[in-house]
Amino acid sequence: MTPVTDDKLLGALGRALHDQRLHMLYQPKVRLRDGSLASVEALMRWDDPDLGTVEPSRFIPIAEEHGLIDELTHWGLRTILRQWLDWCEEGIDTAIAFNISALSLQHLDFPDLVERMCRGLEVPTDRLVLELTEGATQPLVKLMDTLTRFRIKGIGLAIDDFGTGYSSLMQLRQLPFTELKVDQAFVADVARSRDSRLIIQAIADLAHGLGLSATAEGIETLEQLRTISELGCDVGQGYLISAPM
């Protein structure tokens, strides 16, 4: 297939949003202690009739760059909150984790907007977890302000892909996160690499020391599952447990 230009992708993304052709998949995160459902992570998917499947890693940066990210975020939030209501009616009461662009956090009224959306649909705010990728994109003080507003409203905050970006331990200590997600690169290596095992154990200890739960993502084998449990992770997520569905 010929490579698609950003411009073409941007146009197609705008139309896909407008025509409601994006959808959401959900991947369970389970407590390693007893296998119970801790939460589900919502993952955006875009299957375009002309372009085929476009990965979020491709279309999110373009949406961020060209001013479509807020619309995408609002669509995502509406979608997961409605999904939560459907599940609730079926008797499934789970927290839903949603990936947030650092750009969305720059709007000071974003926490209020999220709360209003929850209220509007009568979804308790404590059933929502926002996953943020590490990396300082704005001054710590401002980030602290925004994140604290979320926590006051009862919304959970996970730091995603931890250990690969420029993780600032200072940020981790100061910001009010509730969950730390060990990047899947460490999990992928866990059987072969003593270093990765040491790092996962250290991250899990760090998380617990700071009062956060530690989640390992990208678990694909039984051996990885066993090892990350032994290293102290609380929650697991990955194809072995369930692919996004």
179 binds ligand G (CB under 6 A): no
Answer for the pair 54, 11: CB distance below 8 angstroms, yes or no: no
Q: How many residues bind ligand G (CB under 6 A)?
A: 13
24 binds ligand G (CB under 6 A): no
Distance CA 243, CA 70 (A): 27
Smallest separation (angstroms) from ligand G to the CB of 89: 27
Answer for which of 160, 179, 183, 234 binds Mn ion (CB under 5 A) is 160
User: Which of Mn ion, ligand G, none does 239 bind, CB closer than 5 to 8 A by kind?
Assistant: ligand G
- Of all residues in the shown chain, the one whose CB is closest to ligand G is 238
When the beta carbons of 12 and 59 are compared against Mn ion, the nearer one is 59
Total number of residues shown for the chain: 245
156 binds ligand G (CB under 6 A): no
Backbone angles phi, psi at 43, to 5 degrees: -125, 125
- Residues in region 207-236 near ligand G by CB under 6 A: 217-220
Q: What is the DSSP string of 21-84?
A: -EEEEEEEEEETTT--EEEEEEEEEEEETTTEEE-HHHHHHHHHHTT-HHHHHHHHHHHHHHHH
Give me the torsion for CA of 236, 95, 131, 152, rounded to 10°.
Answer: -130
Distance CA 167, CA 171 (A): 8
User: Which of ligand G, Mn ion, none does 220 bind, CB closer than 5 to 8 A by kind?
Assistant: ligand G
134 binds Mn ion (CB under 5 A): no
User: Tokens in use for 191?
Assistant: 């059987």
135 binds ligand G (CB under 6 A): no
Residues within the interface to Mn ion (CB under 5 A): 99, 131, 160
Residues within the interface to ligand G (CB under 6 A): 27, 43, 99, 160-161, 184, 217-220, 238-239, 244
